[in-house]
C-alpha cells in the first residue's frame, strides 16, 4: 500500500462527522511553533485523546501529563500514526509555544504524536466549550473543571468518549480502545478468541468472571 | 437520494411554502422521489411474507439542527401497543457454554444451567435499523429497534418458565451515519439472574454477533427457599434496554429498549377467577397497556421524506409507546397501565389524570405496583383527597401534589376506572411538573389548544388522551374491586453489614471533577465493593451534590429489589431524616436522590455470583462515568481476593495523585 492510500484510509472522516462546524478550524500553534488547523490537521479522520492544561499549573495538570505519558508508553506503536494526544493550554496568553516546549521537555513528554497547543484565547475557549461542555454554566465557565478528564475522539467513526485521568490505567486503555476504528469481522474473531481465553482463565482462577 | 432530486425537492418546498399543508408536501415528496420514499414500505411488506430484510436507507445527515420539532395534530393517532415477541426455537440451540464457533459472543457459562434448562421458551430479538413514524403528520424516522421496531417487542413471560432471549446485533457495523454506536449489551431491568445475562456495561458485543441471555423467571431466594425461590419476591413489569458503556444514551434514543412482563398466579395475565389471582385488569393490549414514556426532538421533513430524530438528550415531543400525543379508546370499565419512563436524561413525569371538566380532584389513578413490585395495599393518587399520596417530593415538601412522579427507569402500575365517566367523554394524562409544559408542543411552537380541550388545560401538558366508549357485550366484563391487600412483603431484611455510596459531581476543590460514585469513575474491571453470596446489606446512598446544583440522580441497583428504610434531606439548613413517601415504601430498584438528599436501603444478594452495577439512571450521567461495579463472590476467601482488587486500585489512584507513573 502506498503512502497516499494509507493516509486516505487512516484519516478519512466519518461522513457525518460534525467537522469544522463543531470542532472549529482554529489556527493553533504546537510546541514547535508550527501552525496547525484544529479540525483539518488534528481531528479529521483521526483518533485522539485531548486534555486541557497550562504550563504553570501546579494542581492536576502535571499529574495528568504523567498519566498521559504512561499511556503513551503503552500505545507507543500507534502514536503519531493513527492515535494522537493533544494537550491544549487554557492560558494561551501565558503559554507561548516556547513555554509549552519547555513544559513538555521538562516532563519528557515532547514526543511524536503528542502536541501541546496554544492559540487565540477566544478560539481555545470555544474549543473547550465544544469538547467539554456539560450544559451547566457553573461548571462550564470554570476552566479548571475538566482538568482531570480526557476527551477521546475518533473522527473516523464519529465516536465521542472520555476517560478519568485518575482511573486505573487499564480503564484508560479500555476507554481509548472503546473508541478504536471499527474492526473487520476477522479482527473481531481474533478479539473474541482472546476474550474467551481470558474469561475461561478468570473463571478457573476466581470462580466467577472477574477481571475481563 | 441524488443531489438533483434533493434540490428539486427543496424547490417544491420553497414554492409551496405557506400555501400548502405539510401532509400534501409529503405527498408531493413521495411523487418526486418515489423510489426512495416508497422503498421502505415495500421492504416492510416483503418482510411480512418472509422475504429477506433489507436495511432502510440511513439518514441523509445527522440531524442536529432542529430548534423545535415540526407541529403535529394531537390525538389523531391511536396509542400503539408493542406486539408481543413470539416464542420460537433457536438455531443453533442455546447452550451452557458460549457457542463462539457459531457467532455467540464470549461470556462466562450460564449459572444454574441444569436447574433452568431445557428452557421452556426461547426467542430472538435482533437489534437492527428500521423506520418508525412517530406521528401521522410526520414522515418516517430512522431508528434502531429490536426486530426493527420501536418500542421493542413486548416479552410476555411467566414465573417458572425460564426464557432464553437471543440478542442479535445487526446494527450497521459502521453506525450507518447515525448517533447510535453499533455495539450493544442488553440489560433486563431488574432481573434476578446471572451476571453473564445481565448486560454488564463493559460486556458489549459488536455487529454480526449474538448473545444468549438466560432469564430464569425465578423468584429471588432460590438457595434459601428451594424450588423457584420465595414467591413473595414476585416482580411484574420489567424492561430491557441497551447498556453499552458511554453509549447507553445514544443507543436508547435510537430506540433500543422495550418492555418485559412476567406473570405469576397472583397476576396471571387474564381476568378469570383462577386460584390466587388478584383479578386486576389483565388482558395485554385489551385492558392492560404499557405506557412507555420518552421525549424526543425531530428535524424538519428532509429530501428523503423523513423526519429524523435529533441526537439530543431532551426533547420537545413527548412520546408514548412511540407515538406523539396519541388517543386510546377505552371502555367504561377498569384498566391497568404499566407506566415506564425511559428518560433518557432529566425527564421526570409528574403525572395526573385530568377529567372532562379539566380537574383531577376525583380522577384517581390507583397505584398497585412500583418498579414491578406490588405494593402491600393499593395507593390512590389524585388532586383531591389523595393529593398527599404524591411522591413528587423534594426534601420534606410535596412539589406536585396529586401527581405520580415517574423518574427515569421507574415503573408505576396504575388502575384507572373509566366506568364513572359518561360514554363519549375524554380524559387526559398529563405531566404537571414545574416548567415541564414549556418543553413540548405548546402554543410557543405553533400548536394551539385543540377544540374540546377542557378549560384550564394546556395542550403542552398533555401526554395522551383517553376516549371513553360504551363497553360492548363482547368486551370483557369489568374486574372486581381492587383488592385491599395485593401481596405479602418478604421477610424484613436484616443486614449483615453496611456500606455507603456517594454520588457527586463537583465537591469543591477536588480533582477530577466528574460524575462519580465514591470518587471513582466507571471501571469495567475494578469493583468498588465485594459481597458474599447469600448475605444482606444496608446501603446509604448519598447525593453529595449541593442543593441548587440540580444534579439529581435516579439511582438504580441491579440484581434484587431493595426496601427504602430512611430518606434524608437538608431541610432548613439541617441534614435530617424526612418521611418516605408512601409510594416509596414498597420494593424498589430505583431511588431518586435529589441534591443533598440520601436514602438508606436494604437489599439481599442471593443465588448468583458475578459483576453487577449501581448507577445513576440519567443516561447522560451514567455515560459520563456515574456507574460503578460491585461483585457478588462465592465465599469469604473470594471476598478477600476481591477486596484486594479494590485496595490495589485505590493504591493506583493515590499514586497517580502523587504524580507517580504507575
DSSP B413-424: EEEEEGGGSPTT
Buried b (16+ CB within 10 A) or exposed e, B98-125: bbbeebbbbbbebbbbeebbebebbbbb
To the nearest 10°, report the CA torsion of B132, B135, B136, B137.
-120
pLDDT at A5: 43
pLDDT at B2: 43
- Residue A206 contacts B where some CB pair is shorter than 8 Å: yes
pLDDT at A145: 61
Q: Where are the beta strands (DSSP E) in B196-355?
A: 205-206, 210-215, 237-242, 257-263, 288-296, 317-320, 323-324, 327-331, 334-341, 349-354
pLDDT exceeds 80 at position B513: no
pLDDT exceeds 70 at position B487: yes
Q: What's the average model confidence in pLDDT over B452-480?
A: 94
- Compare all CA atoms of chain A with the CA of B632 and give the residue at the minimum distance: A208
pLDDT exceeds 50 at position B13: no
How far is it, in rounded angstroms, from Cα B629 to Cα B202? Answer: 10
Q: What's the average model confidence in pLDDT over B161-179?
A: 91
User: In chain B, positions 487-526, which contact chain A (CB-CB < 8 Å)?
Assistant: 505-506, 511-514, 516, 520-526
| Residue of A123, A114, A109 lying closest to A28 (CA atoms) | A123
Q: What's the average model confidence in pLDDT over A100-121?
A: 96
pLDDT exceeds 80 at position A64: yes
**Residue among A63, A147, A183 minimizing CB distance to B656:** A63
Q: Is the CB of residue A188 less than 8 Å from the CB of residue B206?
A: yes
With a CB cutoff of 8 Å and minimum separation 6, the contacts of A49 are A68, A71, A83, A84, A85, A86, A150, A151, A152, A163, A176
pLDDT exceeds 60 at position B52: no
User: In chain B, positions 596-655, which contact chain A (CB-CB < 8 Å)?
Assistant: 609-611, 624-625, 631-634, 638, 641-642, 645, 649, 652-653
Other C-beta atoms closer than 10 Å to the C-beta of B404 total: 25
**Residue among B525, B641, B642 minimizing CB distance to A170:** B525
pLDDT at B100: 96
pLDDT at A7: 46
| Residue of A114, A58, A60 lying closest to A88 (CA atoms) | A114
Residue B75 C-alpha, separation from nearest chain A C-alpha, in angstroms? 33
Confidence of residue A18 (pLDDT cuts 50, 70, 90): confident
| Residue of B186, B223, B189, B184 lying closest to B206 (CA atoms) | B184
Confidence of residue A80 (pLDDT cuts 50, 70, 90): very high
| Residue of A165, A188, A192, A187 lying closest to A176 (CA atoms) | A165
Strands B183-184, B121-132: pairing kind: unpaired
Q: Cell 499549573: give the residue.
A: A57
Residue A35 C-alpha, separation from nearest chain B C-alpha, in angstroms? 31
**Residue among B177, B511, B610 minimizing CB distance to A208:** B610
pLDDT at B443: 46
Q: What is the pLDDT of residues B552-592, one digit of tens each?
A: 899 999 999 999 999 999 999 899 999 999 999 999 999 99
**Share of residues in chain B with pLDDT > 70 (%):** 88
With a CB cutoff of 8 Å and minimum separation 6, the contacts of B68 are B316, B445, B446
**CA B172-B178-B179 angle, 5° bins:** 115
Q: What's the average model confidence in pLDDT over B32-46?
A: 36
Cβ–Cβ below 8 Å for A208 and B108: yes
Q: What is the pLDDT of residues B585-642, one digit of tens each?
A: 999 999 999 988 999 999 999 999 999 999 999 998 999 889 999 999 999 999 999 9
pLDDT exceeds 50 at position A102: yes
DSSP 3-state of B409? coil
Cβ–Cβ below 8 Å for A208 and B523: no
Q: What is the pLDDT of residues B100-114, one digit of tens each?
A: 999 999 999 999 999
- Residue A168 contacts B where some CB pair is shorter than 8 Å: yes
Cβ–Cβ below 8 Å for A183 and B521: no
- Residue A210 contacts B where some CB pair is shorter than 8 Å: yes
Least confident of B256-260, B285-289, B500-504, B507-511: B507-511
Least confident of A1-5, A173-177, B326-330, B649-653: A1-5
pLDDT exceeds 80 at position B481: yes
Q: What is the pLDDT of residues B236-259, one digit of tens each?
A: 999 999 999 999 999 999 999 999
Name the average pLDDT for chain B: 88
pLDDT at B447: 62
How far is it, in rounded angstroms, from Cα B221 to Cα B230? Answer: 5
pLDDT at B9: 40
**Residue among B108, B525, B659 minimizing CB distance to A199:** B108
- DSSP-derived letter for residue B274 is -
Cβ–Cβ below 8 Å for B513 and A168: no
pLDDT at B53: 64
How far is it, in rounded angstroms, from Cα B628 to Cα B198? Answer: 15
Confidence of residue B428 (pLDDT cuts 50, 70, 90): very high
Sheet containing B365-370: which strands, arranged edge to edge?
B323-324, B317-320, B288-296, B334-341, B411-417, B365-370, B373-381
Q: To probe the interface with A, which of B57, B514, B552, B641 has the most A CB atoms within 10 Å?
A: B514
With a CB cutoff of 8 Å and minimum separation 6, the contacts of B380 are B364, B365, B366, B367, B386, B389
Q: What is the pLDDT of residues B54-65, one digit of tens each?
A: 889 988 877 776
Residues of A in contact with B196 (CB under 8 A): 209
How far is it, in rounded angstroms, from Cα A44 to Cα A19? Answer: 7
Amino acid at each position: 500500500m502506498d503512502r497516499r492510500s494509507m493516509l486516505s484510509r487512516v484519516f478519512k472522516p466519518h461522513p457525518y462527522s460534525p467537522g469544522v462546524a463543531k470542532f472549529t478550524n482554529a489556527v493553533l500553534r504546537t510546541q514547535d511553533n508550527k501552525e496547525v488547523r484544529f479540525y483539518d490537521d488534528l481531528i479529521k479522520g483521526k483518533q485522539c485523546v485531548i486534555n486541557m492544561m497550562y504550563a504553570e499549573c501546579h494542581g492536576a495538570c502535571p499529574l495528568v501529563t504523567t498519566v498521559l505519558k504512561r499511556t503513551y508508553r503503552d500505545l507507543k506503536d500507534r502514536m503519531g500514526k493513527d492515535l494522537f494526544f493533544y494537550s491544549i493550554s487554557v492560558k494561551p496568553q501565558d503559554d507561548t509555544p516556547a513555554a509549552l516546549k519547555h513544559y513538555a521537555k521538562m516532563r519528557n513528554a515532547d514526543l511524536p504524536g503528542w502536541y501541546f497547543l496554544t492559540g487565540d484565547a477566544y478560539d481555545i475557549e470555544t474549543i473547550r466549550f465544544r469538547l467539554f461542555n456539560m450544559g451547566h454554566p457553573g461548571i462550564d465557565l470554570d476552566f479548571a473543571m475538566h482538568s482531570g478528564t480526557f476527551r477521546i475522539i475518533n473522527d473516523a467513526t464519529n465516536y465521542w468518549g472520555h476517560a478519568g485521568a485518575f482511573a486505573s490505567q487499564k480503564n484508560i486503555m479500555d476507554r481509548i480502545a472503546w473508541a478504536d476504528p471499527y474492526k473487520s469481522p476477522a479482527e473481531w474473531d481474533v478479539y473474541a478468541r482472546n476474550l474467551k481465553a481470558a474469561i475461561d482463565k478468570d473463571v478457573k482462577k476466581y470462580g466467577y468472571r472477574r477481571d475481563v | 437520494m441524488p443531489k438533483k432530486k434533493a434540490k428539486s425537492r427543496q424547490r417544491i418546498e420553497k414554492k409551496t411554502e405557506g400555501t400548502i399543508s405539510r401532509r400534501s408536501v409529503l405527498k408531493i415528496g413521495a411523487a418526486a422521489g418515489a423510489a426512495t420514499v416508497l422503498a421502505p414500505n415495500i421492504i416492510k411488506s416483503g418482510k411480512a411474507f418472509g422475504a429477506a430484510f433489507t436495511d432502510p436507507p440511513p439518514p441523509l445527515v445527522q440531524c442536529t439542527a432542529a430548534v423545535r420539532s415540526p407541529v403535529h395534530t394531537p390525538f389523531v393517532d391511536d396509542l400503539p401497543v408493542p406486539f408481543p415477541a413470539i416464542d420460537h426455537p433457536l438455531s443453533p440451540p442455546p447452550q451452557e457454554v458460549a457457542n463462539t464457533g457459531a457467532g455467540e459472543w464470549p461470556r462466562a457459562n450460564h449459572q444454574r444451567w441444569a436447574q433452568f434448562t431445557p428452557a421452556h421458551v426461547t426467542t430472538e430479538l435482533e437489534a437492527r435499523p428500521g423506520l418508525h413514524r412517530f406521528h401521522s403528520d410526520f414522515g418516517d424516522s430512522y431508528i434502531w429497534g429490536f426486530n426493527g421496531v420501536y418500542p421493542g417487542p413486548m416479552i410476555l413471560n411467566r414465573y417458572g418458565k425460564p426464557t432464553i432471549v437471543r440478542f442479535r446485533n445487526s446494527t450497521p457495523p459502521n453506525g450507518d451515519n447515525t448517533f447510535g454506536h453499533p455495539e450493544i449489551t442488553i440489560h433486563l431491568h431488574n432481573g434476578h439472574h446471572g451476571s453473564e445475562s445481565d448486560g454488564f456495561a463493559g460486556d458489549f458485543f459488536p455487529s454480526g454477533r449474538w448473545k444468549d441471555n438466560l432469564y430464569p423467571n425465578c423468584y429471588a431466594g432460590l438457595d434459601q427457599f428451594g424450588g423457584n425461590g420465595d414467591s413473595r419476591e414476585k416482580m411484574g413489569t420489567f424492561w430491557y434496554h441497551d447498556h453499552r458503556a458511554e453509549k447507553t444514551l445514544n443507543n436508547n434514543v435510537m430506540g433500543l429498549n422495550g418492555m418485559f412482563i412476567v406473570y405469576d398466579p397472583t397476576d396471571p395475565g387474564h381476568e378469570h377467577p383462577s386460584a390466587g389471582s388478584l383479578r386486576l385488569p389483565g388482558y395485554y393490549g385489551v385492558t392492560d397497556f404499557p405506557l412507555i414514556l420518552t421525549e424526543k426532538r425531530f428535524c424538519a421533513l428532509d429530501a428523503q421524506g423523513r423526519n429524523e430524530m435529533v441526537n439530543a438528550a431532551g426533547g420537545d415531543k413527548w412520546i408514548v409507546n412511540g407515538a406523539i400525543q396519541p388517543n386510546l379508546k377505552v371502555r367504561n370499565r377498569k384498566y391497568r397501565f404499566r407506566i415506564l419512563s425511559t428518560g433518557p436524561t432529566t425527564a421526570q413525569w409528574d403525572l395526573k389524570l385530568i377529567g372532562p371538566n379539566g380537574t383531577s380532584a376525583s380522577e384517581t389513578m390507583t397505584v398497585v405496583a412500583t418498579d414491578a413490585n406490588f405494593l402491600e395495599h393499593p395507593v390512590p393518587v389524585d388532586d383531591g383527597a389523595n393529593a398527599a399520596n404524591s411522591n413528587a417530593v423534594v426534601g420534606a415538601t410535596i412539589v406536585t401534589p396529586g401527581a405520580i412522579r415517574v423518574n427515569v427507569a421507574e415503573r408505576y402500575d396504575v388502575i384507572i376506572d373509566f366506568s364513572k365517566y359518561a360514554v363519549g367523554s375524554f380524559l387526559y394524562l398529563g405531566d404537571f411538573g414545574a416548567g415541564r409544559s414549556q418543553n413540548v408542543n405548546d402554543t410557543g411552537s405553533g400548536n394551539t389548544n385543540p377544540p374540546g380541550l377542557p378549560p384550564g388545560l394546556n395542550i403542552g401538558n398533555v401526554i395522551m388522551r383517553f376516549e371513553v366508549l360504551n363497553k360492548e357485550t363482547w368486551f370483557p366484563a369489568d374486574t372486581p374491586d381492587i383488592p385491599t391487600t395485593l401481596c405479602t412483603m418478604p421477610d424484613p431484611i436484616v443486614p449483615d453489614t453496611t456500606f455507603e455510596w456517594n454520588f457527586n459531581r463537583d465537591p469543591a476543590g477536588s480533582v477530577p471533577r466528574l460524575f462519580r460514585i465514591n470518587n471513582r469513575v466507571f471501571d469495567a474491571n475494578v469493583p468498588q465493593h465485594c459481597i458474599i453470596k447469600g448475605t444482606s446489606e444496608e446501603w446509604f446512598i448519598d447525593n453529595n451534590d449541593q442543593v441548587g446544583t440540580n444534579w439529581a440522580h435516579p439511582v438504580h441497583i441491579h440484581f434484587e429489589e431493595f426496601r427504602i428504610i430512611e430518606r434524608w434531606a437538608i431541610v432548613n439548613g439541617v441534614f435530617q431524616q424526612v418521611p418516605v413517601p408512601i409510594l416509596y415504601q414498597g420494593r424498589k430498584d430505583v431511588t431518586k436522590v435529589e441534591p443533598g438528599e440520601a436514602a438508606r436501603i436494604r437489599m439481599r444478594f442471593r443465588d448468583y455470583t458475578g459483576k453487577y452495577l449501581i448507577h445513576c439512571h440519567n443516561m447522560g450521567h451514567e455515560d459520563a462515568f456515574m456507574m460503578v461495579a460491585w461483585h457478588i463472590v462465592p465465599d469469604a476467601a473470594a471476598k478477600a481476593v476481591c477486596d484486594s482488587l479494590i485496595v490495589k486500585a485505590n493504591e493506583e489512584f493515590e499514586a497517580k495523585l502523587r504524580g507517580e507513573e504507575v
